[in-house]
């Protein structure tokens, strides 16, 4: 079983002008990616934002479904949202994984743009079979900042459809990515 962690990064990401920004957390991303994480047995789903109001929003949503009225109303949703951990920065996430695993995690970033140094899904599946912990990082807004991409250990090949349109929601991209990496097809 892979030691795979997920991160949804809200800072530093870029806007459509290429400027570094902090993006807002969305309720749908939290629910859908947490459900995805639970479905594919991900170790933890980190939501990364340094913005206090955004962290409070995530805490409120998560607590409703894990300890509040939603917990008894929908125990299946509770199990999914319990995978969420809130952190200020990517560095905080990597420190948390190091404490949990006793070793450094390798980072794999996703990007809608093509990169000449990207690795394919087959190679990434093989890497995930090692006992090394991996952190798969998704960006919000218009994607991860260049500093995050260039600092990663690996860049996963972009998802390409059968048209030149390429602007998936992060929820859709995460679902496609995890299915390609972890599903057991005959």
Q: Give Cα 101 to chain centroid, integer Å.
A: 18
What distance in Å separates the CA atoms of residue 107 and residue 137, rounded to the nearest whole number?
7
Residues 86-130: tens digit of each pLDDT: 999 999 999 999 999 999 999 999 999 888 899 999 999 999 999
Q: Which CATH number fits domain 3-181: 2.60.40.10, 3.90.1560.10, 3.40.1280.10, 3.60.20.10?
A: 3.40.1280.10
Residues 144-173: tens digit of each pLDDT: 999 999 999 999 999 999 998 988 999 999
pTM exceeds cut of 0.85: yes
């Amino acid at each position: 079983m892979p030691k795979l962690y997920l991160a949804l990064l809200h800072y530093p990401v870029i806007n459509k002008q290429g400027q570094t920004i902090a993006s807002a957390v969305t309720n749908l991303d939290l629910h859908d990616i947490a459900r995805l994480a639970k479905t594919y047995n991900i170790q933890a789903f980190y939501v990364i934002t340094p913005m206090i109001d955004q962290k409070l929003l995530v805490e409120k949503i998560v607590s409703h479904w894990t300890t509040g009225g939603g917990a008894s109303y929908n125990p299946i949703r509770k199990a999914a949202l319990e995978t969420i951990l809130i952190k200020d920065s990517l560095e905080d996430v990597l420190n948390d994984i190091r404490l949990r695993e006793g070793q450094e995690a390798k980072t794999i970033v996703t990007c809608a743009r093509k990169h000449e140094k990207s690795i394919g899904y087959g190679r990434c599946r093989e890497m995930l079979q090692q006992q090394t912990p991996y952190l798969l990082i998704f960006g919000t807004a218009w994607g991860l900042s260049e500093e995050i991409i260039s600092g990663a250990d690996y860049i996963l090949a972009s998802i390409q459809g059968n048209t030149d349109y390429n602007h998936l929601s992060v929820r859709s991209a995460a679902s496609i990515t995890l299915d390609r990496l972890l599903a057991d097809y005959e």
